[in-house]
Every structure is written in structure tokens, then in C-alpha cells.
Amino acid sequence: MKMQTQTIKCSNCGFINLNSYRYCGQCGMQLYIGVQPSWLARHCNWTLIFEWLGVPAICIIILVFLDYAGLFNFTLLDSQSSTILFVGLTIVWGILFLLTVSWMLRMKHRSQWNLFYGLLGIFGFIIWLCLANKGNKYQ
């Protein structure tokens, strides 16, 4: 009885690998048999940019909707209440952003010490985007 060997084509380089392999023999990328990772996991940098821009935009849209619907009136707020609201939303956005960066570093198989690049401001953000994916490349 002759056994059939199943093969899988690498989505990165097109190399044909045996089905029992987890990583491509030519480029070293992980072979996905069956379940593909989510869009967010495959595009870590875009996820970071969308979170950086998207969460504040969503907060502004929600606040404008609440004001328009009459559920929350910003004209009646004094300066102290509006400052507390702004600081609260900024803290929530900052925590979500740090969680997103931490998740992105795990997806790229990088050390969590790379979070300290955030202390460099916009330059740290650019460094986060430039970090290469070290995950399982040569295994």
C-alpha cells in the first residue's frame, strides 16, 4: 500500500512543503493549515494605526451624538467638568493604546521592554512600526 503525502503551498514564497511541516523550508514563515490568523494579527502595524486614530475618533463621534440627541449637554458644563471628561477619555485611550502596543509586540515576538520606546513620543511610535517580526523565522 502506497502512502500519499500531502503538501501545502507557502502563502509567502510559494514553496511546496509537506503537510507535516509547521514552517516553510525556504523562507521560514509559519504555515497555516486550516485556520488563518485574523486580519488584525496579520497586519499588526495597521492595527496600531487604526487604534491610535480610531479610538479618539469614535469617542468624539459618540460625544457629538450624545450632544445632538440631547442626552448630554456640553454647553452646561463648566470648565472643571469638561476637563475631567477630557482627562478621563484621554486616560482610557492611553490604556487601550498601551494594551494594543503590548499585543502587537507579542504578535511580532518582541520583548515587552520595547514599550519604553513610547517615551520618545512620535519617534517611538515610528520605531514600533519599524520593528520586524521575529516570530519563528528560522525554526
pTM recorded for the entire structure: 0.62
Q: pLDDT of the chain along its 139 residues, tens only?
A: 455 567 777 777 777 777 666 777 777 777 766 666 677 777 888 888 888 888 888 888 887 787 777 777 666 666 777 777 788 888 988 899 899 999 888 888 888 999 899 888 889 888 888 888 776 543 3
107-113 — which CB contacts under 8 Å span 24+ positions? 107/41, 107/44, 107/133, 107/135, 108/44, 108/132, 108/133, 108/134, 108/135, 109/133, 109/134, 109/135, 109/136, 110/134
